[in-house]
Structure 1
Amino acid sequence: MSKPSGQNVIRLRGVRHNNLKNFDLDLPLNQLIVITGLFFDRMDKPQVDNIDGIPPAIAIEQRNAVKTTRSTVGTMTEICDYMKMLWPHIAQLHCRQCGRPVRKDSPQRIWQFLESSSKSSAQIEDENEGGGRLREVLITFDLPLTEKLSLEESLNLVTKQGYQRLLLPVGEAFVRVASGPQLELNEAAAPWDGPNPPPAPSREGSGNARATRQSPSREGSGVGSPSAAAARAVHFEIARIDQAMERLRALKPRSLTVIQDRIKLSAANRARFVEACEQAYHFGKGKLAVRLGESESDSTIQRFNDLTFHFSNRFHCAQCDIEYREPLPALFSFNHPLGACPTCRGFGRTISIDYNIALPDRSKTLDEGVVKPWRSGHGVECQQDLMKFCKIRKAPTDLPFDQLSKQWQDWVINGDPDYGKDAGHEWPRAWYGVKGYFRWLESKAYKMHVRVLLSRYRSYTPCPDCQGKRFRPEVLLYKLPIDDLRFTSAESSTGAASIVNRQSQITLADFYQLPIRDALQFIEQTAAQHRPATSDPIGLVLNEVRSRLGYLVEVGLGYLALDRATRTLSGGETERVNLTTCLGTRLVNTLYVLDEPTVGLHPRDTGRLIKILQQLRDL
């Protein structure tokens, strides 16, 4: 019997449950206590006089009661909640068409890019002091025209804003050629109507080669990608608004290219350049263009025939003219409609007809009934239809199905081309195929026996759109460099360093598919590269992810992946995942009751689990 003690205990007085007779016991707090003969089933209220000092309790059972596939190891440990906030800050958006990085271009970043692509600041100053000619740039923005206002009224509004000059193409109307079909988020239209201009003669000194040298590579920063106009070297001229009316009426433009400023690239003009870019962003709805070239002072027409760079202060690919939405945290969650794949709704798989079940034995011939549901019942009529159309199409019926050509196999399964297009392409004039048969059954799915029949031939398959990654395609455009984690440091010291140092890019879905031990290594590398401050929210999120991944590795679950469905875990794995979740929440003054946490563990993992329990005790 225990005597009354202080407040740091759980006091049980007068316990008379089962074979206990008026038993008193004190259980000390902040200790690991082992109790045998305890079951977690629902029990009646115990027969006891008094129980004092019980803190809030959490029971962790060795049982997996999760049934939904939405729950994964990542969601269960709340790592996915932290990653959806972390990923848009550490990953880089890439254009889905050209693959170049997409980022917001500030005026300061534009200046740095132009300065590095043209010449260094010291060279500019030296040339200025030497009296040489400095390279000029035009900062322009496009102003869309509206049908509600005439061309004269639009030009008057531009003039009232203080602008006096426009940029017009020389000769025939200019059409900016897009490199692909119209895209859903494309907001900008070609500024000019009319046919494509003839190719301009190349400038002396191989201007196209110089344009290629100065343009950024696809693996570079991606800032200021040269447009299609630069590659074609179309001639432009500066025209005053009051003198451009007749030209504009002939060109019938969709937008006006307004000149914000004309500046020489010198360090003294940096402040003026930044201010001009800010104004161009303001009136150009977040988009501007910088045209590099030397004005031909000996000509009455001022031409700018060199590179044209397009910039945006939004998530917009200037090269492809595609705009992307702001990266909200919900976009990086497959359990949110904004980030989930529209086809599978974030499950990563779809349920559909499995034709390997419908045609289980492909060594049979068409005459022998290779299609299983057509061997009996109402399916016999479909078998007769198949034989009839085989005679019409002269399809071989005495060869095993797996020996037929791919053309005949597709015909049996998919039916005649353009089936269902019109009355002439429908049964009984055309063959509907095995797919047509199941489409007809699905139209009768309101009947119970039809639903039962369909269930026999359905199975879960990876989503055809996201390939089981759960996210919508836009999320998979955010990528982050990663070292090849398949090689250890020991292998790199033995001659595999050239392979180890190679980098690839992974998406958030790829990160979730990494083994947890590799995911921990990746997060540690990312933290070492970014080195956020202690008070930085990104640093706090990184520490949370790193600590939870570390707990999973310490309890012996480093072989699992974060996208592993919770319902596929064993009871012991589920209990240890729940344990790491409790460690991550860092609840203090809490009573944890664990149901046989070491069952099924290797002795090595048992010792590691005890260390985790000690950490939980010492919180």
Structure 2
Amino acid sequence: MNSMREGIGSIFIKGAREHNLKNVDVSIPRNKLVVVTGVSGSGKSSLTIDTLYAEGQRRYVESLSSYARQFLTRLNKPDVDYIKGICPAIALDQKITTRTTRSTVGSLTEIYDYMRLLFARIGKTYSPITGVEVKKHEVHDVVDHIERSEEGTKAYILVKIVIEKGKKLSDSANILLQKGFTRFLINNTVLKIEDIDLHGGEAEKKKIFTTKDEIFLLIDRIIVKKNDEENTQRIADSVSTAFYEGHGECIVRKENGSADTDIIFSNKFEADGILFEEPSPNLFSQNNPYGACKTCEGFGSIIGIDKDLVIPDKTLSVFQGAVACWKGEKMKLWLEQLVKTANKFNFPIHRPYYLLTKEHQDLLWTGNEYFWCLNDFFKMLEENAYKIQYRVMLAR
């Protein structure tokens, strides 16, 4: 094979001599689906597995710690001059595996485990209401946001006070004082908790705030200082406290700002009032019942009733026993009820089943106010499936 130019977007193999390869030079495009074909013994496996995969796996293992390397198979360096542009490699064995009802192409080829990890790590969740990406904020996200402000910027770290039903503001204030908090932010004014007469009359309290005003607990007042590790640590501690006291919510407000300019952070994986489940490998497992169809439970098929088995001989009439499951000392009660009431809705019980109109055939399954139908019968069997005789009848 002629020598090729080493492309930037390619994997370039120079002088491959593994097994029956004769000093092969080849350029393989990256991020493309590439098929290697040839007659038996032409060197397909020698090139792709024994050379390309072996080198990619070997380099990846070498990049790991000595502790991690002991758990992975180490491959020998292939007989090749050099390989450029190679990535960590995955090889799938061609083998026969046990097939189950939940088997898919991904599970049979064993690529499914890698796909689950991939989707769990890079997958993004979007709200079905507004379409915004759902994000969970960490402490460092809030700290980074604050420290991106100009030097000397003053800001408040706040938690919104929510009064539980049946409780008063004074109850919450007393608890906060015991925890060591000392200030509220009301109408953009910082007030000491003990200076507010929370037990006074309504007229006295209205001088300070009304019931419509939002009340915030002031966690900390901070000043942005660039490259100050001590100040950064203080902000991080205050944000952690805010997340805890705010039940997962932290508010950042500039000193001269208003509620309209508040930046609200949440360490919950939620958006638009919906708490989402964070992506995890188990969430993408075909054996996970989460999100599976409630009818088939994810199998893609259900066990139903075969009408041809229920009515095997269509030349018989209903009276002659066309319905196979309505026979026997106990089950014939279902048939007797239909026979006794058939004249009330003009059902031809003596006519062969195949001569019945579609409406009459459907009526056997759907029923009316005069008799219990076949659907009712099988529902009864399913509800009593814990009894062996009913399970046997359903299996038939």
Shorter-chain TM-score tier = 0.3 to 0.5
Larger RCO (alpha carbons 8 Å, 6+ apart):
1
Is the radius of gyration larger for structure 1 or structure 2? Answer: 2
TM-score (norm 1): 0.34
